[in-house]
């Protein structure tokens, strides 16, 4: 492997990380919105969300990426590979994040909400001041776990023509006829990316522990 | 739109053939991965470091890499070590190796929380070695893990879609083939998604049924 090959793997890593981050930045709050729709039992919406989550959790990211990339232009919405990858990653991760948020919301003690109403808080204010500060800490490990799963399913976006870490490694292997070195380098890169997320989670927990005395 | 679905319907044999391959791959991978995982779990729980360390390294290594990368390693890198597999077998091997690591970790977790008295009672009744593991340790931990194992089986079904990239004729691959031949992307992939959903629902129902029976046993 030449220096150029290492560089193209690093480029692939930048693609994997940036597309995953965009998916996370949109998918985590979107998951919360979906979970809130179910939690507050908004009539038709709650059932639609339940159906969405059930289907999306069963859909492989490869199949979803192909569907988004090929079917959207077919119904008159032209889409490039990068937006198609972001849309499919976000649709996928939002479904899983919805379930994580929902579990935290379902476990939330009703008595606290009653207390908030009793002191005259509106539902919105009670959510901002009482519910959210508690549920995000409970959901953090689950959300970070889902982020690492997202990184591991991200090579699926190669089917719409995006060169991520895995795709870059395959290309180098095909050119040099020595697939093992690029694959091992790719493995090391994924390890570092996943480690980065887990470390970030730990440092947030340590920070919370210092500030509030609990994580 | 209905015209698109009519085209997919006309080629339903192809789609269902892919679906059958997805089911077969998932079933074989689940059975083999579970068997391999119960062996790895013994190594993970071993008191000897020389046994435990390589098993731990394998499990942690698999949990760090994407499934597709392992599939590529099995498919492209094994031939340079003199092992040549066709794409179907390579795909199955990758599914087994990858998911065995996750399942071993699930079993280890359940085993670690198995009450010591349970094993002591087995020893008192004269069970030892492999027989103790097979008859006393394994049944309760497998039953305890049923819901998590169900999720892992769903993961296997979804991982199998990656195998389209190494040209294994599974469900996504056949949907792709139909769409590229007749340009019916919406109908082809929506049909595939519906079949994946159906299969995953079946797994969830099976898990609920097994859990129900497990609860009756307790």
CATH number for the domain spanning A30: value is 1.10.3720.10
Print pLDDT tens along chain B (218 aa): 678 898 989 999 999 999 999 999 999 999 999 999 999 999 999 999 999 999 999 999 998 899 999 999 999 888 878 888 899 999 999 999 999 999 999 999 888 888 888 889 989 998 888 888 888 888 888 888 888 899 999 999 999 999 999 999 999 999 999 999 998 999 999 999 999 999 999 999 999 998 888 778 76
CA neighbours within 13 Å on the CB side: how many for A61? 32
Distances (CA, A) of A118 to A110, A114, A127, A189: 12, 6, 14, 52
Note the pLDDT of residue B218: 66
Per the structure, the count of domains in chain A is 1
Partner residue facing B186 (CB), from A60, A74, A186: A74
What angle do the packed helices B146-159 and B12-44 form, to 10 degrees? 130
Cβ pair B61:A187 closer than 8 A: yes
Rounded Cα–Cα distance for residues A107 and A110 (Å) = 9
d(CA B30, CA B92) in angstroms, rounded, equals 10
Residue in chain A lying closest to B68 (CA): A155
| Token pair belonging to B170 | 């599974």
Q: Is A173 left (phi over 0), alpha (psi -120 to 50) or beta?
A: alpha
- Owning domain of residue A18: 3-212
Q: How far apart are CA A43 and CA A24, in angstroms?
A: 28
In which band, very low, low, confident or very high, does the pLDDT at A188 lie, cut at 50, 70 and 90? very high
The shortest C-alpha distance from B98 to chain A (Å) reads 12
For residue A26, pLDDT beyond 80: yes
Distance from CA of A122 to the nearest CA of B (A): 39
**What does the pLDDT read at residue A1?**
82
Nearest by CB to A60, from B69, B161, B190: name it: B161
**Using CB atoms, which residue from A67, A179, A186 is nearest to B189?**
A67
CA dist., res. A105 & res. A133, Å (int): 12
User: Any idea of the CA torsion for A198, A204, A209, A215, to the nearest 10 degrees?
Assistant: -70
Give the span between the Cα atoms of B162 and B29, in whole angstroms: 14
Residues in chain B: 218
What would the mean pLDDT of A36-43 be, rounded to a whole number?
91
Model confidence band, residue A215 (pLDDT cutoffs 50, 70, 90): low
Per CB-CB distance under 8 Å, the chain B contacts of A153 are 66-67, 158
Domains and CATH numbers, chain B: 2-217 (1.10.3720.10)
CB contact under 8 A, B69 and A155: yes
Q: What pLDDT, on the 0 to 100 scale, is given for residue B80? A: 77
Cα(A135)–Cα(A94) distance, integer angstroms: 17
**Residue B146: C-alpha distances to residues A9, B203, B214 (Å):** 39, 11, 9
- What letter would DSSP give residue B85? -
| Cα within 13 Å of Cα(B209), Cβ side | 6
């Amino acid at each position: 492997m030449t220096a150029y090959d290492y560089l193209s793997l690093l480029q692939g890593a930048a693609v994997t990380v940036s597309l995953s981050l965009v998916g996370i930045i949109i998918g985590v709050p979107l998951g919360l919105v979906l979970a809130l729709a179910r939690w507050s039992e908004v009539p038709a919406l709650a059932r639609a969300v339940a159906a969405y989550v059930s289907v999306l959790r069963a859909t492989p990211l490869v199949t979803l990426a192909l569907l988004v990339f090929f079917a959207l232009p077919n119904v008159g919405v032209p889409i490039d590979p990068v937006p198609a990858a972001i849309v499919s990653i976000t649709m996928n991760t939002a479904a899983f994040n919805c379930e994580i948020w929902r579990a935290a919301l379902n476990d939330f003690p009703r008595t606290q909400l009653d207390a908030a109403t009793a002191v005259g808080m509106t539902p919105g204010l009670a959510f901002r001041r009482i519910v959210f500060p508690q549920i995000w800490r409970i959901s953090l490990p689950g959300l970070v776990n889902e982020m690492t799963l997202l990184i591991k399913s991200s090579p699926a976006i190669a089917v719409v023509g995006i060169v991520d870490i895995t795709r870059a490694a395959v290309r180098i292997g095909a050119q040099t006829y020595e697939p093992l070195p690029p694959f091992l380098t790719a493995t090391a890169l994924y390890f570092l990316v996943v480690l980065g997320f887990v470390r970030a989670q730990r440092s947030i927990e340590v920070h919370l522990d210092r500030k509030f005395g609990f994580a | 739109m209905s015209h698109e679905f009519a085209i997919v319907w006309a080629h339903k044999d192809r789609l269902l053939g892919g679906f059958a391959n997805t089911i077969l791959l998932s079933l074989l991978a689940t059975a083999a991965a579970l068997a391999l995982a119960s062996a790895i779990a013994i190594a993970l729980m071993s008191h000897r470091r020389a046994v435990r360390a390589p098993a731990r390294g394998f499990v942690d290594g698999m949990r760090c890499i994407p499934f597709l990368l392992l599939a590529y390693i099995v498919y492209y890198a094994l031939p340079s070590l003199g092992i040549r597999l066709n794409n179907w077998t390579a795909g199955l091997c990758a599914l087994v190796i990858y998911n065995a690591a996750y399942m071993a970790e699930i079993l280890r977790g359940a085993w670690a929380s198995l009450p010591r008295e349970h094993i002591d009672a087995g020893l008192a009744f004269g069970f030892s070695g492999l027989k103790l593991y097979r008859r006393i340790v394994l049944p309760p931990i497998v039953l305890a893990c049923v819901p998590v194992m169900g999720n892992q089986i769903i993961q296997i079904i979804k991982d199998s879609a990656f195998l389209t990239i190494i040209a294994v004729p599974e469900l996504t691959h056949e949907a792709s083939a139909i769409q590229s031949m007749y340009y019916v992307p919406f109908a082809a992939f929506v049909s595939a998604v519906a079949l994946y959903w159906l299969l995953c629902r079946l797994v969830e129902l099976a898990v609920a049924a097994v859990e129900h029976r497990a609860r009756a046993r307790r």
